[in-house]
Amino acid sequence: MGLDNVRPATRDKVLAAMAQLGYAPNTAARALRYGSFRTIGMIAHGLARTGESRTIEAVVEAARNEGYTVTLIDVENPSSDVVAAAATRLSHQAIDGLVIVRAETVTPDSLALPPHLPVVVSDSRFVGHHPAVGADQVDGARRATQHLLDLGHRTVHHVRGPAGSAPAQLRAESWRDTLVAAGRPVPEIVPGDWTAGSGYDAGRRLAADPEVTAVFCANDEMAAGVLRALHEAGREVPGDVSVVGFDDILLAEYLWPPLTTVVQDFGEIGRRLVARLLQEVRAGGGPAKAGAGDLHEVVPVELEVRESTAPPRG
C-alpha cells in the first residue's frame, strides 16, 4: 500500500477489507520485492548493566530513525556457541543485519556466524573480523588516572570490573600504563563485578588503608559503593580520598558528593553502530567483504570533573 497510482476510493476499499480479514503484510514477501526486511537483529548480555542497556536503547532509537525495527536476544551465557546459536536463530527470523553488544568472553576466532550476514560489534577485539564501534576505553581510563595524579596524589588505586570483561581489561591496562609512565607505584588491583555491592566491599578494604588517597573505579555503580564504604569508615570524600567513576550514569551527579566520572556517549555509539551496519547492508557485504572487518570507529570520551576529587590533604 502507499502507492501514488492507486485511486483513493480503491485504497479505502482495500484497507477496509484488510481490516475486516485481519490481514497483515507478509514481511518475507515484501523483502523479496524490496530487498530488505527493515529489521536489525541484536544480541546482548547483562541487560541490567549500564553500558549494555544504554547502548541497546541508543541502537533501537537510531534504527527507528532509519525506519527499522529491532529484534533482541538476551543471552544468559555469552560464550561463542551461545552467541553463534542466537545469531543463527535471528537470521532465520528475517533480519537484514546483526549488532552484537559487548561480546565479553567471545573471541573473534571462536565465533562462527551465518555466512554473508552483515555484522557490527561494539568490541574492538573484533577488528579484522567485523566492523567495530566503541568508546575510547583506553583514553577514558588514562584521563581518570591522570586527573588524580595531576591533583597531587602519589598513586591511584583501582577497583576493576569482571576479569572476563574486555572493557574492564582495557581500563585496567590503561590505568596501569598511566601510573608506570608517570613513574608512580602500581597498587594491587581490587576486584569488582560492576555492581555497587562489589564496590562497597572494595571500598571497605580500601578505607582500612590510611595510605589510600585516590581511587579510580571501572564504573559508576562500583564508585557509588566505594563512596558509601568510605563514609561509613569516616573517610571524607574528597578530603581524605578522591574517587573517580566511569560511564556518567544519570545518578552520578546526584550522588554525594557528585561523582567525577568518564563520560561515554552511548547515543553516538548506537548511531554509529546502526549507520555502519546499514552501510554494510546496502552495499550487499557480509563479514567476508574485503576490508570491512578492518573498520574500527572509536567514539571519544570526556572527563566530567565534579566534587568527588580534590588535592590530597597536606
**Same-domain status, 146 and 169:** yes
Return the pLDDT at 288: 41
Say yes or no to pLDDT of 262 above 90. yes
**Same-domain status, 143 and 61:** no
**Same-domain status, 239 and 122:** no
Return the pLDDT at 85: 83
| Among candidate residues 19, 9, 99, 4, the one with its CA nearest the CA of residue 52 | 99
Return the pLDDT at 287: 46
Helix and strand element counts for the chain (H, E): 9, 12
Phi-psi group of 88: left, alpha or beta (phi > 0 → left; psi -120 to 50 → alpha; rest → beta): alpha
Phi and psi angles of residue 101, each rounded to the nearest 5 degrees, phi first: -95, 115
CA distance 101 to 74: 10
**Same-domain status, 184 and 249:** yes
Return the pLDDT at 127: 58
| Across 165-176, average pLDDT | 93
CA 269-271-277 angle, to 5 degrees, is: 100
| Across 216-239, average pLDDT | 98
User: Is residue 238 a part of any domain in this protein?
Assistant: yes
Say yes or no to pLDDT of 239 above 50. yes
Grid cell listed for 127: 577488528
CA 17 to chain centre: 46
- Number of folded domains in the chain? 2
Residue given cell 555502519 in the structure block: 276
Q: What is the percent of the chain with per-residue pLDDT over 70, rounded to a whole number?
A: 82
Amino acid, res. 222: M
**Is the Cβ–Cβ distance between 14 and 1 less than 8 Å?**
yes
What b/e sequence results for 251-269 when a residue is b if at least 16 CB atoms lie within 10 Å of its CB, and e otherwise? Answer: ebeebebebbbbbbbbbbb
User: Is residue 313 a part of any domain in this protein?
Assistant: no
**Same-domain status, 47 and 110:** yes
CA distance 303 to 151: 14
CA 262-264-267 angle, to 5 degrees, is: 160
**Same-domain status, 235 and 257:** yes
Strand partners, 133: 297
Q: Is 157 helix (H, G, I), strand (E, B) or coil?
A: strand
**Same-domain status, 121 and 97:** yes
User: Is residue 287 a part of any domain in this protein?
Assistant: yes
User: Is residue 306 a part of any domain in this protein?
Assistant: no
Return the pLDDT at 22: 63
> How far, in Å, are 8, 84, 97, 207 from residue 106 at the CA level?
54, 10, 19, 35
CA 192-197-201 angle, to 5 degrees, is: 65
pLDDT tens track for 280-292: 888 875 544 545 5
Return the pLDDT at 25: 56
Average pLDDT, the chain: 86
**Is the Cβ–Cβ distance between 206 and 240 less than 8 Å?**
no
pLDDT tens track for 63-122: 999 999 999 988 876 666 788 788 888 888 788 999 988 765 565 565 667 778 898 988
Return the pLDDT at 1: 47
- 48 — pLDDT class (breaks 50, 70, 90): confident
Say yes or no to pLDDT of 151 above 60. yes
Domain of residue 169 covers 137-264
- 166 — pLDDT class (breaks 50, 70, 90): confident
**Same-domain status, 273 and 126:** yes
| Among candidate residues 195, 181, 182, 187, the one with its CA nearest the CA of residue 224 | 195
**Is the Cβ–Cβ distance between 40 and 98 less than 8 Å?**
yes
Return the pLDDT at 149: 98
Residue 142 sits in a domain whose CATH number is 3.40.50.2300
**Same-domain status, 48 and 98:** yes
- 150 — pLDDT class (breaks 50, 70, 90): very high
**Same-domain status, 96 and 205:** no
**Same-domain status, 201 and 281:** no
